[in-house]
A and B are shown apart, each in its own frame.
Chain A
Amino acid sequence: AQSVTQLDSHVSVSEGTPVLLRCNYSSSYSPSLFWYVQHPNKGLQLLLKYTSAATLVKGINGFEAEFKKSETSFHLTKPSAHMSDAAEYFCVVSKRPSGTYKYIFGTGTRLKVLA
């Protein structure tokens, strides 16, 4: 079985401070992992993805994530939060357990950025 757990449903940070959104996954196979962002009243947008190449993945808007197999984690980070980062973030695992694809979304982390 495979699943993804986002450890925090809400995260608040001050503008200019670092962001850490945590994601742990479980998978019997080598997964592909993604982070998507959903701004209010806007569609989901890909931030970054890990597909078994470099373990440190850089995405858009200054975000990055590190795949750590030993910790089964794929945490999302950004050195300095901006007001425009306020949104909901989803960690996603993709797998092909029997030749067909499954996409499992985490329950989301709502990021609030304080002025």
Chain B
Amino acid sequence: GAGVSQSPSNKVTEKGKDVELRCDPISGHTALYWYRQSLGQGLEFLIYFQGNSAPDKSGLPSDRFSAERTGGSVSTLTIQRTQQEDSAVYLCASSPEVSTDTQYFGPGTRLTVL
């Protein structure tokens, strides 16, 4: 079956612009996760959704970052007024439930802020 998909695969933007990153989870997965993978920083957990609800937004790096999920399916990570330090690969994962379920990762969106 189809795995987790993310779009776009690559995004180049200018500093100060807003960007939207999209994640399509595996059908039927109620949990969805966002991570950021950057050189020298490793993999950083940003936020997770249980259904459409994000119980804890404290992992988002700043108030320029926001995420939403609608219909228990697609999620969008939005970065406003992008900065060069936002350049990274943004990974999305999904799992049947939160807790100890295996997370299935998408291929990521590579964001470059010039």
Give A residues with C-beta under 8 Å from B.
32, 36, 42-46, 49, 51, 90, 94, 99-108
Contacts and interface: CB of A to CB of B under 8 A. Distances in A.
Contacts, number: 47
A46 B55 contact: no
Interface of B: 3-4, 33, 35, 42-45, 48, 55-56, 59, 91, 93, 98-100, 102-103, 105-108
Contact of B102 (A43, A49, A105): A49
Contacts of A105: 35, 42-45
Contact of A106 (B42, B55, B106): B42
19 contacts: A32-B99, A32-B100, A36-B105, A42-B107, A43-B3, A43-B4, A43-B105, A43-B107, A44-B93, A45-B105, A94-B100, A100-B56, A101-B48, A101-B98, A103-B45, A105-B35, A105-B42, A106-B42, A108-B43
